[in-house]
Amino acid sequence: MKKNILVFTSKFAPVSETFIYNQTKALSTDNSIFLAATESLNDNIYPKDFIKALFTYNNIPVNLSDRIKSKLIRRGENHPYFLPYSSQKKLIDFIKENNIEYIYAHYGTNAVKLIEILKVLPYLKLYVAFHGYDASKQLADKRYISRLSQLINFNPTFIYCTNVLKENIAAVLPHNNIIEKVIPYGVDMSKIKQIKAHQYPSKKIKIIHAGRLTEKKGVLDLMKSYLDLSPDLKQKTELHIVGDGEEYQTIKEFAENNKDLSVFLHGAKPQQELMAFVKGADIFVLNSRVSTSGDSEGLPNAILEAMALKTAVISTNHAGIPEVVKNNETGLLIPEKDNQALKNAIEKLTKDEKLREQLSANAYRLVSDSYSLENMHRQLNSLFND
């Protein structure tokens, strides 16, 4: 029997969060899906025909009356982990009108905004999916921890994309009332097989980073490690960077100041085109690390996609990455923030085509067997069939 599930998130379907779109679509296989979000994006890329109804909420009060009522709800607390009164009232009405029984909230930072809703509608069953910063950087915020502690009084199910995030939450919260599941992200293997490799103009070995240009991705250090390669290897290789973000200008300036390097910045690309770039490359590098603010990855979807696209992977011993990148088996794994180790790994794979082929073949089998979209579908839907 189909369940009525409300997916609660902030912005829905930005290109940087395909994993949320995929999970939502997966749940729609056996259930009726309703969506609550601040806005729904990219309808031309991510069709929403499986969503029964959309509720758009505000994160800030809409008028003076709403501001006053919202302050009463907060009881003097001034932080972003509350919904304004108007959004709470309308969301409660939306839930009642659509006979919603379950809420699947993406990010703990969003889930804690539902506490007042759960007090009014205690029959609701809450599922909370943690994805990264909400189970790493944000755990330094005592106000967030306080709200999470209140949330567990409603017997939620916590879902993690990697065991590391589960361990992070366990370190700060009592687990008496929490049901916990680890469900990794899934790759749509049928779509992966349809991706045609980007045709690069040169025949050089292609090294690629594809994803957001943020501190925790370590792209600037990737460029510095590439700069330190021997002149011979630099002649035989190219570094391609696909993506955008707050470090784009710094990365661009570094490339401009080192014009002897074969570095190409392609900017942000739609998901299909981004994957085509990765498939056409020889080596995929995700140089992840904990940022200075404490932000961390969960299990980056970009890694799984690169493995599924049969591009040899270099990444770091960070967050959930070692669960899929086994050193010298499904990729090369190096310490965080170790430019010398990164340089050595790039040199190793650049020189050894047979090793690249062996690692990529092993990685492809791992993703096909354990990290497919079908596998994620099955695990997610089983949550509502117990």
CATH number (domain holding residue 318): 3.40.50.2000
227 and 98 in a common domain: no
Cα dihedral 167→342→213→301 (10° resolution) = -50
- Summarised one tens digit per residue, pLDDT across range 328-347 is 999 999 999 999 999 999 99
Q: Could you tell me the pTM of the whole model? A: 0.88
Token pair belonging to 266: 């392609």
208 and 135 in a common domain: no
**What pLDDT, on the 0 to 100 scale, is given for residue 44?**
87
Domain that holds residue 69: 4-186+373-382
The structural domain count of the chain equals 2
209 and 174 in a common domain: no
- Summarised one tens digit per residue, pLDDT across range 148-184 is 999 999 999 999 999 999 999 999 997 777 899 999 9
240 and 101 in a common domain: no
**What pLDDT, on the 0 to 100 scale, is given for residue 350?**
97
359 and 247 in a common domain: yes
195 and 171 in a common domain: no
Spatial contact of 128 and 108, defined as CB atoms under 8 Å apart: yes
Spatial contact of 98 and 120, defined as CB atoms under 8 Å apart: no
Q: Which residues of the chain have pLDDT under 50?
A: none
258 and 219 in a common domain: yes
**What pLDDT, on the 0 to 100 scale, is given for residue 386?**
60
227 and 166 in a common domain: no
333 and 207 in a common domain: yes
27 and 147 in a common domain: yes
Strands 283-286 and 205-210: parallel
212 and 86 in a common domain: no
127-130 long-range contacts, CB within 8 A, separation 24+: 127/102, 127/103, 127/156, 127/157, 127/159, 127/383, 128/156, 128/157, 128/158, 128/159, 129/23, 129/104, 129/105, 129/159, 129/160, 129/161, 130/158, 130/159, 130/160, 130/161, 130/165, 130/169, 130/298
- Summarised one tens digit per residue, pLDDT across range 107-128 is 999 999 999 999 999 999 999 9
170 and 258 in a common domain: no
